[in-house]
Amino acid sequence: MILVTGGTGFVGASVLRRLAEDGTHALRAAVRRADATVPYGVEKVLVDALTANTDWTAALSGVTAVVHCAARVHIMDDTAQHPLDEFRRVNVQGTLTLARQAAAAGVQRFIFVSSIKVNGEMTEAGAPFTADDVPAPVDAYGVSKLEAEQGLRELEVQTGMEVVIIRPPLVYGPGVKANFAAMMRWLARGVPLPLGAIHNQRSLVALDNMVDLMVTCLRHPNAAGQTFLVSDGQDTSTTELLQRMAQAMGRRAHLIPVPASMLKLGAKLIGKPDIAQRLCGSLQVDIEKTRRVLGWTPPLTLDQGLQKAAKGNVRETSV
């Protein structure tokens, strides 16, 4: 039996679908609503929240592996008075409570979806993040994910439960939200964008590639005790990404070649420097360790991933 938390979320729901299609494991999804939709044959168990006080007894009964996708996710304009406290309450205390109860229940392997933000916010040209870099999180979300990782490694030593950590960059695919979905809407509507001269390099990961690695980590003996980075294996600039997205949608990208320095200045003047960093800065990840240890290759190319994302978001992006 495999337990998936966050089973109705963007990544968790896709993991459940993939595992249900494989048909090799009994599956259970931790959900917060009785009417939550899960794939046929997947057992639902109600869990009110991910906190230090959550009782996972029913959810963990008979479970041999946990795929932990549930989290308090990164929010661009977080309105919480003390964001780090809120992230810790869910991502650290909630995760470690689940993990301790999982170990006590005899769970053999615990897959934790972390974040590339544990490594940091940006990379220099030609110096991608690696899985063995010294962590350097900047924001509260990244700090909470690092603290959860550290707690899980300590628990692994104490209990022998195998922990596998995966740090993805931006995950995109059918049903993607936030900034990626906004860019698709702009392209669909033919909105001119001042992003035609951005020469950065960023790593992304298609939803199918992310899920494939997670399923691989459930089964591969060499995954135990490891931390992996994941991507499509093809880095791209913001300008090239928009051009490829438009092509996948059967549209033409209207990009104005505004220098990155001017975009950064404008974003700073309006109090939104983080937006410019995401659009103009580089964030590359090196997945050589993932390939070598697991013999894993991303099943989808960047263009194939964008095509699936475009088809899956056709209603949202239609004019």
Catalogue the active-site residues: 141
**Cβ proximity of 309 and 248 under 8 Å:** yes
Could you count the other beta carbons within 10 Å of the beta carbon of residue 193? 17
Could you count the other beta carbons within 10 Å of the beta carbon of residue 273? 13
Q: At what angle do helices 207-219 and 302-312 cross, to 10 degrees?
A: 110
CA–CA separation, 173 and 309 (whole Å): 4
CA–CA separation, 26 and 81 (whole Å): 41
Instruction: Name, in order, each residue with C-beta under 8 angstroms of 163's C-beta and a sequence gap of 6 or more.
Output: 99, 109, 110, 112, 152, 153, 155, 156, 224, 225
Determine the length of the chain. 319
**Cβ proximity of 212 and 17 under 8 Å:** no
| Cα 231–Cα 235–Cα 239 angle in degrees, nearest 5 | 130
Query: CA torsion, points 218, 219, 221, 222, in degrees to nearest 10?
Result: -60
CA–CA separation, 212 and 216 (whole Å): 6
Instruction: Name, in order, each residue with C-beta under 8 angstroms of 175's C-beta and a sequence gap of 6 or more.
Output: 10, 312, 313
Instruction: Name, in order, each residue with C-beta under 8 angstroms of 59's C-beta and a sequence gap of 6 or more.
Output: 3, 28, 30, 45, 47
Residue 115, classed as helix, strand or coil, is coil
CA–CA separation, 38 and 49 (whole Å): 18
**Cβ proximity of 12 and 171 under 8 Å:** no
